[in-house]
Chains A and B, each alone.
Chain A
Amino acid sequence: MSKLIWIKNGRVIDPANKRDGVGDVFIRDGKVCAQPDAEALKRAEVIDAKDLIVAPGLVDIHVHLREPGQTHKEDIRSGSRAAAAGGFTSIVCMPNTTPPADNPGTIRRIMDSCERNAVVNIYPTGCLTIGMKGEQLAPFGSLHAEGIVAVTDDGLCVQNNEIMRRALEYAQHFNLPIMDHCQDMSMTRGSVMNEGYWSLRLGLKGWPSAAEDLIIARNVVLSQHTGAHIHMQHVSSAYGVDILRRAKQRGVRVTGEAMPHHVYFTDEACKTYNTNFKMNPPLRSERDRDAVIEGVLDGSLDIIATDHAPHAPDEKDCEFDTAPFGIIGMETALASCLEVFVHRKLCDLPFLISRLTHRPAEILGLPKGTLSEGVDGDVVIFDPNESWTVDPLHFRSKSSNCPWNGETLRGRVKRTLVAGETVWLDAPGFTI
C-alpha cells in the first residue's frame, strides 16, 4: 500500500511555482503529489504545520564534507545530518578531500558512502586540476560519468589563465559549470583577514578585496571569451558584486553566491582574535557587507550558500595566524539569513527562500528546490520567528567552529523531510 503524508495548515511557500499561501502539501511514496481523494486522506500521516512555513527543502551548493580523508572534522554521515538540521535536503560537496576528488575512484567512493550514510541528497563536485595544483586538467569526462555536477578547485583558485581558459572550454563538452573560489594568490600570501582598518589595528596580515575582484574580472573575461558558465563562489567584496552586476547586464554567463557570514558579520568581528571569524574569503568591511546584501537583493548575486567548512576544535584552538580558514554554517544559515534579510524587512520570505532553493538548484541543473508535482518530497518546515541561542555543542556537525556561537537568532527548523522521510525533527532525543 502506498504511503501518504499530508502536511497541513502551514503557509506553503514554493517560489518556483509562485505559490504562497496557507495550504497543504501531499507526498505519496516519496513524491510530491496532487490532492488525493478523501478516502486516501483518511489513511494519511498528518503533519500539522500550523503557524509554520512549509517550503521546498533547502539547497546548499557549497559544502565541505571532509570525506574521504579528513573525517575527524566531518563525514558524510555527520555532515548530512547537519544539513538536515539546517533544513537542507540537497547539498553539493567540494572536492578538496584527501585524496582530492580528481579521479573517478574517489568520486565513486564518495557516492558509495552517500548511499550508505547520507540522510540528504548529496551531489559531488570534481577537481578542476589534478591534485588542485592548477597545472593539469582533471579528467572531467570520467568524473562526469561518475556523477559530478560541477568542477572546482575551491580553496585553491587556478592562477594560470591558460589552464582556466581550457578548463572552461573543455567543461562545456559535459555541460559542467565551473565554480571558482576567486583569489589572486600573489596578493594574499600570508594573509589572514580582510585588509583594512581592522587589519591595521590588529596587526594581522590583510587580504585585500582587490585580490578577489581581479579573479572575478578575469573570470568574466574568460566566460565572455569561451561562452562557458562560471559560478563565483562566496563573493565578499563590493567591487566584486559590481563586476558581476555589469557582466550580467552584458549577458555574460556568470553567476554568484553570497554567504550568510559575509552578510551578517564584518571584519570588526576579528578584534578578539577568535579563530571562528577566520575564513576565506574573509569577513570584510561594512561597505562590502552592505554591497553583498544589495547584490543578493538585486540579483547580482544569484543565491546563498554556506561554505560549511568544519575544522576540529583543536585545529581552531590556536593563534589566529596559524588557524585554518573556515567555519561551519549549515545549521545556522536559515536563521542568520532570516535575521539579515527578512526580519530587517529587506525582502520577503518567498524571495529569501528562492535564493536557498530552486535558484541554486538551477545553477547546477539539479532537479531540486521546488514542490512541483512529481518531484521528490523534500520539504523544510520552519518557524521564522522562534528564537534560539546557538550552541555548537548541540549541532549535528562533528565540528563546532561556528561564529554565531552564543548569538540568539530568530528562525528555527522544526522538521526536514527527504523524499517523504523525516530526517530532522526539532524534538529532544530525535535521532536518525
Chain B
Amino acid sequence: MIQELTWNRKDLLTIEELSREEIDTIHALATQFKTTLGRSQKKLPTLRGKTIINLFIEPSTRTRIAFEIAAKRLSADVTLVEKAASSLVKGESLRDTAQVVEALNADMIIIRHSAAGSPAYLSQIVDIPVINAGDGAHEHPTQALLDTFTMREKLGHDLSGKKVTILGDILFSRVARSNVWALLKLGAEVTLAGPNTLVPKQFEELGVTVEYNLKKALADADVVMLLRIQHERQTSSHFPSLGEYKALYGLNRERAAWLKPEAIIMHPGPVNRGVELDSSLADGERSVILEQVTNGIVNRMAVLYLCASAANQTSETAI
C-alpha cells in the first residue's frame, strides 16, 4: 500500500517509545484507510485468516468495539476474552492466560488491563504481537494516535507550536500520558490543567506546562481536551465532589468564551455530561468528539496492519 513505511514493531506498547516518523507512518496509513470508510463494501482482505484476541481484563466498551470493528474491517476474526468470563477469576495468572491464547494459535493480542506495564510484561511472554488498549494509568497509545490524527485533520498536518490544553484528572489518566508523549514528539506545546491533587506540578518534568489558572490554560489553546473524572481509580479523596469539580473546572459556555474562536474541543469519552463538559458544548460546532470515534477505527486499522506485517516479516525471515 505505502512504500517505505517506517515501522518494524510487532508490538504497540507505548507512545513514549515511538519516533515521530513512526507516528507519521500510522497517520499516513490511517488516512488511506479513511478513504475506504465511505464505500459500501468496507472490508479489506488484509488480515484475512488472522485471529485476534481482545483480552479485556478491565471493562471497556468503546475501545473494545473500536478495535473489534477495525479488525473486522481488515477481515480478521476477533474473539473477546473478558476477565469475568475467563479463568483469570479462577486465579489463573496473566502468563498462563497469555500462553493459552498463543497456544490457541491466535495471531495477535489486544490487551486492556488495570495494571500499568502489563502489556510490556505480556510481550515478554508471547511471540505474537501485543497491542496496548490501555494499561492502568500508564498509556493508551491508540487513543493518542487517534487524538493527534484528529488534531492534524483540524489544525493542519504540522502540529509544531500548536497549543493543546488537557484539562481534568491527569494523575489517573493514561490518555493524558500517551497524548503528552505524542504531542511532544509532534512538536506541540502541552498544558495540563485541573486541581493540583489531580495534576501534580511534577508533571512539568515530562516537558509540559502545568497551569492551575483555568482562564490562562484556555486562553491561547488551539485544542482543549477534557478528561473524565475517574472515580473508579481514585483510592482516596482527590477532590471534594463532582459538583465542586463542575463549579471550578467544568467547561461551560462562559468558560468556552475564553477560548479562541477556532479552538476545538475534544474528549476521549465516555463524557460525564454536565460535569467536565456541558452538553451544549459536547454537541456543539467546536466539538470533534464523534470524529475522534471515527478516527479511532482507521488509526487502529493502521496499527493492526503495521504490527501484523512486522510480525509476518519477522517470522518469514526466521524461516
- Does chain A bind chain B? yes
List the B side residues contacting A189 at CB < 8 Å. Answer: 235-236
List the B side residues contacting A321 at CB < 8 Å. Answer: 114-116, 136
B276 contacts A by Cβ under 8 Å: no
B235 close to A320 (CB less than 8 A): no
- Chain A's interface size range is 20 to 34
A190 CB to nearest B CB, Å:
5
A240 CB to nearest B CB, Å:
20
A147 contacts B by Cβ under 8 Å: no
Which chain A residues (254-296) contact chain B, with CB distance < 8 Å? 272-273
CA–CA, A202 and B206, complex, Å: 11
B117 close to A314 (CB less than 8 A): no
List the A side residues contacting B138 at CB < 8 Å. Answer: 202-204
CA–CA, A200 and B205, complex, Å: 10
CA–CA, A319 and B117, complex, Å: 7
**Max chain A C-beta neighbours (<10 A), residue from B94, B113, B117:** B117
List the B side residues contacting A366 at CB < 8 Å. Answer: none
Which chain A residues (190-240) contact chain B, with CB distance < 8 Å? 190, 196-197, 200-205
List the A side residues contacting B120 at CB < 8 Å. Answer: 272-273
CA–CA, A314 and B95, complex, Å: 10
Choose among A197, A203, A320 the residue that contacts B139 (Cβ–Cβ < 8 A). Answer: A203
B136 close to A203 (CB less than 8 A): yes
Choose among B118, B135, B206, B236 the residue that contacts A201 (Cβ–Cβ < 8 A). Answer: B206
Choose among B113, B202, B235, B236 the residue that contacts A197 (Cβ–Cβ < 8 A). Answer: B202
B180 nearest in chain A by CB position: A201
A320 close to B115 (CB less than 8 A): yes
B200 close to A200 (CB less than 8 A): yes
A205 CB to nearest B CB, Å:
7
Residues of B whose CB lies within 8 Å of any CB of A are: 93-95, 113-118, 120-121, 135-139, 171, 174, 177, 200, 202-203, 205-206, 235-236
Top-9 shortest CB links A-B: A273-B117, A203-B138, A203-B137, A319-B115, A321-B115, A203-B116, A319-B118, A190-B235, A320-B117
* Beyond A197-B205, A204-B138, A319-B117, 14 extra complex contacts between A and B, CB < 8 Å: A186-B236, A189-B235, A189-B236, A196-B202, A200-B202, A200-B203, A203-B116, A203-B135, A203-B137, A273-B120, A318-B95, A319-B115, A320-B117, A320-B121
A-B contact pairs, 28 of them (CB 8 A): A186-B236, A189-B235, A189-B236, A190-B235, A196-B202, A197-B202, A200-B171, A200-B200, A200-B202, A200-B203, A203-B116, A203-B177, A204-B116, A204-B138, A205-B137, A272-B120, A273-B120, A273-B121, A314-B93, A317-B95, A318-B93, A318-B94, A318-B121, A319-B113, A319-B118, A320-B121, A321-B116, A322-B115
